Amino acid sequence: MRLSRYFLPTLREDPKEAEIVSHRLMLRAGLIRQQSAGIYAWLPIGHRVLTKISAIVREEQNRSGAIELLMPTIQSAELWRESGRYDAYGKEMLRITDRHEREMLYGPTNEEMITDIFRSYVRSYKDLPLNLYHIQWKFRDEIRPRFGTMRSREFLMKDAYSFDIDQAGARHSYNKMFVAYLRTFARLGLKAIPMRADTGPIGGDLSHEFIILASTGESEVFCHRDFLDFPIPSADTDFDDVAGLQAIVDKWTSLYAATSEKHDEAAFAAIPDDRKVSARGIEVGHIFYFGTKYSLPMKATVTGPDGKEHPVHMGSYGIGPSRLVAAIIEASHDDAGIIWPDPIAPFDVSLINIKVGDTATDEACARLYHALTTRGIDVLYDDRDERPGAKFATADLVGMPWQILVGPKSLADGKVELKRRATGERQLLSIEDAVARIA
């Protein structure tokens, strides 16, 4: 992509409304634009990151055996009356009336709708277990939307819903999501710690929040430091191995980790002082087992091996890709701008032509652009007629993992400069070597 033909509206000044660094950088680097309080447009590079995060979330959901579908954003109040949550949910729910005076709502979550879909088709325990998920926009009329897409009113959520014949089956389904979440966050370059958590308005009794430590996080958390170095389950983990998955979950819950709602002072005091972490954290994912909370009132039952009707045991599992964009920036930036982890960078390379109009630099950039893109590498080519300083600043701000600087001086020696954004390390290399280094 040529920057001269792209849409990358960066800001020179720090926006006043942004209180935390990720919000500031998302506005300055042209990832998002606020359209109403807590409602954002995703500009091209922001959209690219969101799409890449969603793709990783999707791959790991699929790997665990979950099945993707897509439910609508607008729901009927009827379903929520069946579960009893229509009145209970309160002001966070955006309620809408259509032209026929029917009560609708913009979904804040989808337990009711998925339970309705399930009960319409599934009749027998033989069709279980089942885990259905979608990646869809949600709306919650947050009392204090803030920190950009960290706590917005409209936000993207991956929400999965599992159905099992009994509690033991549901436990296995829960463990699958637990392991999928460990893999997902690790692939996004994050150290997320599963912490015992409150179940909140969704209800139930087994729940973990996946938390990233960050000084700007809104949760107060307590945990054992060793979690930060625990090994991540490998890609060939057998999700059908009940005992194997339980062993992974047991290990990842063997040490103390809890949010303030579930904090146990005595248990925390037992951790050696140099291993104690008392910090702030960002909730990036949350998994629940809630049994028959929805299946009972909504009559989602299946025939069991005994020939009788049983309400299904359910769990729900959320990840917030739009919050993750901000969380990743909180974890990965410096004074000059964003430092994208390779797997989710909007482009892999910023290619900077230091002297546009110079035949040698123009030709070298064209060669590099061609060689990289034909190898499947995404290049943002800064071909604008701008001062070099401004181009370097833009490249650092938008944070692609690699920069290639092409100027007449080094090119006279047949070299271009390759810079790694994360470390600032620079190397003078031939065009071929620079391409080989990245590809």
Binding residues for Mg ion (CB under 5 A): 283, 286
109/120 Cα distance (integer angstroms): 19
Nearer to ligand ATP, 79 or 438 (CB): 79
Query: Does 217 participate in binding ligand ATP (rule CB under 6 A)?
Result: no
Pairing of strands 219-224, 301-303: unpaired
Query: Does 155 participate in binding ligand ATP (rule CB under 6 A)?
Result: yes
Nearer to ligand ATP, 199 or 410 (CB): 199
Q: Please give the distance of CA 196 from its chain centroid, rounded to a whole number.
A: 20
Nearer to ligand ATP, 39 or 269 (CB): 39
Minimum CB separation of residue 398 from Mg ion in Å reads: 30
The correct pick among 56, 157, 179, 328 for binding ligand ATP (CB under 6 A) is 157
Minimum CB separation of residue 194 from ligand ATP in Å reads: 12
Nearer to ligand ATP, 146 or 310 (CB): 146
Collapsed DSSP state (helix, strand, coil) of residue 388: helix
- The region of 2-10, 83-91, 278-286, 361-369 touching ligand ATP under the rule CB under 6 A is 278-286
Query: Does 135 participate in binding ligand ATP (rule CB under 6 A)?
Result: no
Query: Does 285 participate in binding ligand ATP (rule CB under 6 A)?
Result: yes
Cis peptide bond upstream of 129, omega within 30: yes
Query: Does 139 participate in binding ligand ATP (rule CB under 6 A)?
Result: no
Minimum CB separation of residue 428 from Mg ion in Å reads: 49
**Identity of residue 177:** M
- The region of 15-23, 187-195, 244-252, 313-321 touching ligand ATP under the rule CB under 6 A is 313-321
**Residue 67 pairs with which residues in a beta bridge?**
132
Binding mask 388-417 for ligand ATP (x = CB under 6 A): ------------------------------
Maximum pairwise Cα distance, the chain: 82
- The region of 28-36, 126-134, 296-304, 314-322 touching ligand ATP under the rule CB under 6 A is 314-322
Q: Could you tell me the strand order of the sheet in which 103-106 lies?
A: 74-76, 103-106, 94-97
Query: Does 323 participate in binding ligand ATP (rule CB under 6 A)?
Result: yes
Nearest residue to ligand ATP, scored by beta-carbon proximity: 320
Contact (Cβ atoms closer than 8 angstroms) between residue 154 and residue 39: yes
Minimum CB separation of residue 285 from ligand ATP in Å reads: 5
Minimum CB separation of residue 50 from ligand ATP in Å reads: 12
The correct pick among 28, 151, 171, 293 for binding ligand ATP (CB under 6 A) is 151
Nearer to Mg ion, 24 or 286 (CB): 286
Query: What is the residue-wise DSSP string for 100-126?
Result: T--EEEE-S--HHHHHHHHHHH--BGG
Q: Is 221 left (phi over 0), alpha (psi -120 to 50) or beta?
A: beta
Structure tokens at 247: 């062993």
The entry of ligand ATP, Mg ion, none that residue 400 binds, CB within 5 to 8 Å by partner kind: none
The correct pick among 233, 281, 315, 318 for binding ligand ATP (CB under 6 A) is 318
Query: Does 271 participate in binding ligand ATP (rule CB under 6 A)?
Result: no
Structure tokens at 271: 């951790």
Nearer to ligand ATP, 107 or 320 (CB): 320
Query: Does 286 participate in binding ligand ATP (rule CB under 6 A)?
Result: yes
52/62 Cα distance (integer angstroms): 15
Please state the φ and ψ torsions of residue 352, each to the nearest 5 degrees.
-115, 115
109/114 Cα distance (integer angstroms): 10
Encode 301-319: b = buried (16+ Cβ within 10 Å), e = exposed: bbeeeeeeebbbbbbbbbb
* Residue linked to tokens 């009145």: 87
- The region of 67-75, 237-245, 281-289, 298-306 touching ligand ATP under the rule CB under 6 A is 281-289
**Residue 288 pairs with which residues in a beta bridge?**
207, 316
Nearer to Mg ion, 286 or 415 (CB): 286
110/122 Cα distance (integer angstroms): 18
Cα–Cα distances in angstroms (integers) from residue 190 to residues 29, 183, 209, 356, 439, in the given order = 21, 10, 14, 38, 24
Element (H, E) at 206: strand 206-213
The correct pick among 142, 166, 220, 358 for binding ligand ATP (CB under 6 A) is 142
- The region of 55-63, 121-129, 316-324, 366-374 touching ligand ATP under the rule CB under 6 A is 316-324
Contact (Cβ atoms closer than 8 angstroms) between residue 40 and residue 419: no
Query: Does 322 participate in binding ligand ATP (rule CB under 6 A)?
Result: yes
Query: Does 148 participate in binding ligand ATP (rule CB under 6 A)?
Result: no
* Residue linked to tokens 């090119």: 411
Query: Does 320 participate in binding ligand ATP (rule CB under 6 A)?
Result: yes
Residues at the contact surface with ligand ATP, assessed by CB under 6 A: 140, 142, 151-152, 155, 157, 200, 283-286, 318-320, 322-323
